[in-house]
C-alpha cells in the first residue's frame, strides 16, 4: 500500500473514534514534502472540506518558533540566554526582587512560574501581572510547563527588536522560510482562512464517543506561547528546517552551534535509560531506538496539533486538526504516523476508544453496598462497568483516564490507583476499595465552579477519602491528574501535593455553608447553579 494511502486510512480510523472534524497531515524529508493528506471538514456547518490551503491554529508548537527566533537574536548578540529576565524586562522582580530567573529558565520551563494565568487575554498585561510573583523552587531544578514563561519571552523579543512579536517573527522566520500561508498572530482579518475550531458542547462532563461538538469561540491572540497559524505544508517547511538543523532549501535560519544548544540543553521530564525524555529550549526531545525525536504538541480552543521530527531518521510529520484542544490522542496519532513513515506497521487499533491499554489491570470488584461496581474485560481489550444491574462501556479518554456511559458513572473520569498494595477505583468523590471513612460533613469548598475563560471553563472540587481534589472534565489548560488541594492557611490551597508547585487556589466568602467563589492564579470562578 502506498504511504499516503496508509496514512489516509489511519486518519479515517482516527476520525471514526475521536471528535476530529477535519485534519491535514504533511510528511516531509529535508528535501521536500513527500505527502500531503487532508480529510474531513474545515467547517462542518457549510460542508467545506479541509484543503491544501486551510490554516489551523497550532497552539504551543508556536513555542518552538519563539525559541528559534530567540536563537537568531542570540546569534546576533541581542539576547543572552543566561542573562536575568530583568535585564530585558526591568519591572520583572519576582521573589522580592530576585534576578535568578534567566531567559534559559523560561525557554526550558524551569523558572518555577505558574503554568497559566487565564484571566488576562493580552500579552503585556499577563506578563506584568507576574512582576512580583512568588516561586517555590530554585530556578533550573524542576520542569514545570509554563505558558506564562513563554509569554514573557515574547515581551523580551519585542523589547530587543523594537517590533511587535508578530512582525519580528514574520520577518525573521516565516518569510525567510517561505511559510507564505502562515501568520504570527491570530486576528479577525485572518479568520476566513482558518478552519473552524470545535469544542465539546458539554464542557462539564467527560466526553463520550457520541459527545456533540459546537463551534469554538474565536478570539484574537498574539502571545508567544501560542501565536502562530499555519497550513500543514507550511508547518512541514518548519519541520524540514529542523531536519536540516537550522537550514532549509539553502537558507540558514540558525547557526549549527545554536541549534545544538536548543536540542541538547534540556530539562529532564522522565523516561528511562532506553527512552530518554527531556525538554530543550522550546522543544521536546526524546531518544527512541537511538534516534533523536524533536516534538511539540499544541492545544488551542478548538484546535489540536502535533509536530514530530526524527532528525536521525530523516523524516518529519505535521498533524493539524480542528478537534477540541484537549484531544490529546492527536499526539499519539502524530507519533504513530512518524513511526509508520519510517517503516513500522500501521496499527489502527491504537485509536479504537473501546480498546483499553492494559485492560486486565482494571478488572475486579470495587466498593461495597450501593457503591459497588464490577469491571469486566471484553474481547479486544475492552472493559465494561456494571452497577445497579446496569452495564455500561468504558472508553479511553486519551489522557490516561477512562470515561463511562453508565448513567450513574458518567459524570467523572475513571482511573485506578494503588494504596498499600491494594487497588482502588477513582471516580469523582469515590475511592472504591480504599479503606477510608467517607466524609460525613460537606466541605464548604466542595462543588462545581465556572468562569468565562475559554481555556479552562469549569472544574469541580470533591472530597475523596477525606481529601480535597480539583477535577476538570474538559479544558485545554485543565489538569488531567486531578490534583489534591493542600491547605496552606487563610483560605489558600496549593494545587498539587508537591510543595514546589506554584499554583494557588484561594477561597472566597461562604454563604449558607458553601463557598461562593474561588480565585485560581488570578482567575475568578463562581459556584455554578448546576451541581
Render pLDDT for 251-287 as a digit per residue (tens, 0 to 9).
999 999 999 999 999 999 987 777 889 999 999 999 9
Q: Are strands 492-495 and 485-489 parallel, antiparallel or unpaired?
A: antiparallel
Q: Which helix (H) or strand (E) holds 32?
A: strand 32-43
Q: Is the pLDDT of residue 438 over 60?
A: no
- Helix 329-341, helix 3-17: angle, nearest 10: 160
Instruction: Provide mean pLDDT across the span 465-470.
Output: 94
Residue 370, Cα to own-chain centre: how many angstroms?
37
Q: What is the pLDDT of residue 402?
A: 97
Q: Are 319 and 305 in contact (CB under 8 A)?
A: yes
> Judging by DSSP bridges, how do beta strands 315-321 and 22-29 pair with one another?
antiparallel
Which among 402, 430, 433 has a CA at the least distance from the CA of 420?
A: 433
Give 173-226 pLDDT, tens digit per residue. Answer: 999 999 999 999 999 999 999 999 999 999 999 999 999 999 999 999 999 999
Query: What integer is the mean pLDDT of 155-166?
Result: 98
Residue 67 CA to residue 292 CA, distance in Å, equals: 18
Q: Is 111 exposed, middle or buried (0-12, 13-18, 19+ CB in 10 A)?
A: buried
Question: For the packed helices 147-161 and 62-75, what is the interaxial angle rounded to 10 degrees?
Answer: 40
Could you state, in order of their start, the residue ranges of all structural domains in the chain? 3-61+163-351, 67-161, 359-432, 447-527
Is a pLDDT exceeding 90 seen at residue 456? yes
Q: How does the average pLDDT of the chain come out, rounded? A: 95
Beta bridge partners of 39: 23
Rg (CA), the chain: 23
With bands split at pLDDT 50, 70 and 90, how would you rate the model's confidence at 439? low
Higher pLDDT, residue 368 or 151: 151
67-161 against 447-527: fold identical: no
As a whole number, mean pLDDT of residues 39-55 equals: 97
What is residue 2's predicted lDDT score, i.e. its pLDDT?
83
The pLDDT value recorded for residue 370 is 85
Superfamily the domain 3-61+163-351 falls into: DD-peptidase/beta-lactamase superfamily (3.40.710.10)
pLDDT above 90 covers a percentage of the chain that reads: 91
Q: Is the pLDDT of residue 374 over 70?
A: yes
Mean pLDDT for the stretch of residues 57-77: 98
Map grid coordinates 523558572 to a residue.
111
What's the mean pLDDT in 53-81? 98
pLDDT band (50, 70, 90) for residue 434: low
For residue 324, pLDDT over 60 is answered with yes
- DSSP characters for 466-529? TEEEEE-SS-TT--SS-PBEEEEETTEEEESS-TT---EEEE--EETTEE-EEEETTEEEEE-S
Q: Which pLDDT does position 530 carry in this prediction?
A: 94
Compute how many other C-beta atoms are within 10 angstroms of the C-beta atom of residue 91.
Answer: 11
Nearby residues of 6 by Cβ (< 8 Å), 6 or more positions away: 340, 346
Distances (CA, A) of 450 to 71, 130, 156, 453: 40, 23, 33, 9
pLDDT value at 88 more than 90: yes
Residue 519 has pLDDT above 70, yes or no: yes
Q: Does the pLDDT of residue 53 top 70, yes or no?
A: yes
Q: What are phi and psi of 255, to 5 degrees?
A: -65, 150
Fold entry, domain 447-527: Lipocalin (2.40.128)
Which strands sit side by side in the sheet containing 303-310, from one edge to the other? Answer: 48-49, 32-43, 22-29, 315-321, 303-310, 291-300, 284-288, 275-279, 267-271
DSSP 44-95: TTTTEEP-TT-BEE-GGGHHHHHHHHHHHHHHTTS--TTSBGGGT-TT--HH
CATH code of the domain made up of 67-161: 1.20.58
Q: Which three cell numbers stand for residue 174?
A: 516565516
Whether the predicted pLDDT of 404 surpasses 80: yes
> Looking at the predicted structure, is the pLDDT value of residue 436 above 70?
no
Q: Can you give the pLDDT at residue 435?
A: 52
CA dihedral for 157, 158, 160, 162, sign (positive or negative): positive
CB-CB neighbours of 51 under 10 Å: 12
Strands 198-200 and 247-248: unpaired
Amino acid at each position: 500500500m502506498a504511504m499516503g494511502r496508509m496514512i489516509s486510512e489511519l486518519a479515517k480510523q482516527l476520525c471514526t473514534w475521536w471528535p476530529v472534524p477535519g485534519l491535514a497531515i504533511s510528511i516531509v524529508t529535508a528535501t521536500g514534502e513527500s505527502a500531503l493528506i487532508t480529510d474531513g471538514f474545515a467547517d462542518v456547518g457549510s460542508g467545506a472540506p479541509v484543503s491544501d490551503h486551510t490554516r489551523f491554529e497550532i497552539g504551543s508548537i508556536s513555542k518552538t518558533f519563539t525559541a528559534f527566533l530567540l536563537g537568531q537574536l542570540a546569534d546576533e548578540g541581542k539576547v543572552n540566554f543566561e542573562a536575568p529576565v530583568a535585564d530585558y524586562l526591568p519591572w520583572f522582580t519576582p521573589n522580592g526582587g530576585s534576578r535568578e530567573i534567566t531567559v534559559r529558565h523560561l525557554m526550558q520551563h524551569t523558572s518555577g512560574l505558574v503554568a497559566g494565568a487565564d484571566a488576562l487575554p493580552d500579552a503585556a498585561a499577563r506578563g506584568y501581572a507576574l512582576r512580583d510573583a512568588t516561586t517555590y523552587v530554585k530556578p533550573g531544578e524542576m520542569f514545570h510547563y509554563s505558558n506564562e514563561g513563554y509569554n514573557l519571552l515574547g515581551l523580551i523579543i519585542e523589547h530587543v527588536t523594537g517590533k511587535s512579536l508578530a512582525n519580528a517573527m514574520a520577518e525573521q522566520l516565516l518569510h525567510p522560510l517561505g511559510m507564505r500561508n502562515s501568520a504570527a498572530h491570530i486576528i479577525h482579518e485572518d479568520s476566513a482562512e482558518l478552519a473552524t475550531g470545535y469544542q465539546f458542547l458539554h464542557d462539564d462532563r467527560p466526553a463520550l464517543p457520541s459527545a456533540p461538538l459546537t463551534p469554538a469561540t474565536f478570539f484574537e491572540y498574539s502571545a508567544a506561547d501560542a501565536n502562530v497559524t499555519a497550513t500543514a505544508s507550511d508547518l512541514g517547511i518548519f519541520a524540514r528546517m529542523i531536519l536540516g538543523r537550522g537550514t532549509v532549501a539553502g537558507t540558514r535560519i540558525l547557526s549549527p552551534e545554536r541549534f545544538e544548544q536548543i536540542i541538547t540543553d534540556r530539562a529532564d521530564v522522565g523516561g528511562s535509560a532506553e527512552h530518554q525524555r527531556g525538554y530543550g529550549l522550546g522543544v521536546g526531545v526524546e531518544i527512541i531506538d537511538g534516534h533523536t525525536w524533536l516534538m511539540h504538541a499544541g492545544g488551542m480552543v478548538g484546535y489540536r496539533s502535533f509536530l514530530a521530527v526524527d532528525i536521525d531518521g530523516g523524516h518529519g510529520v505535521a498533524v493539524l486538526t480542528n478537534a477540541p484542544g484537549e484531544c490529546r490522542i492527536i499526539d499519539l496519532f502524530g507519533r504513530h504516523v512518524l513511526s509508520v513513515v519510517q517503516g513500522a506497521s500501521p496499527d489502527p487499533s491504537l485509536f479504537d476508544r473501546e480498546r483499553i491499554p492494559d485492560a486486565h489491570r482494571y478488572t475486579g470488584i470495587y466498593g461495597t453496598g450501593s457503591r459497588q461496581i464490577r469491571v469486566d474485560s471484553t474481547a479486544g481489550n475492552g472493559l465494561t462497568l456494571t452497577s445497579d444491574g446496569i452495564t455500561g462501556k468504558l472508553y479511553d479518554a486519551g489522557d490516561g483516564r477512562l470515561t463511562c456511559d453508565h448513567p450513574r458513572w458518567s459524570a467523572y473520569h475513571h482511573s485506578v490507583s494503588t494504596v498499600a498494595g491494594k487497588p482502588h477505583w477513582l471516580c469523582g468523590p469515590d475511592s472504591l476499595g480504599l479503606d477510608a471513612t467517607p466524609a460525613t460533613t460537606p466541605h464548604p469548598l466542595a462543588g462545581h465552579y465556572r468562569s468565562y475563560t475559554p481555556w479552562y471553563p469549569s472544574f469541580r472540587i470533591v472530597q475523596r477519602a477525606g481529601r480535597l481534589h480539583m477535577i476538570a472534565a474538559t479544558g485545554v489548560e485543565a489538569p488531567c491528574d486531578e490534583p489534591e488541594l493542600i491547605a496552606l492557611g487563610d483560605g489558600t490551597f496549593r494545587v498539587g501535593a508537591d510543595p514546589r508547585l506554584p499554583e494557588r487556589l484561594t477561597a472566597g466568602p461562604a454563604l449558607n455553608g458553601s463557598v461562593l467563589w474561588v480565585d485560581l492564579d488570578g482567575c475568578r470562578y463562581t459556584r455554578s447553579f448546576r451541581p
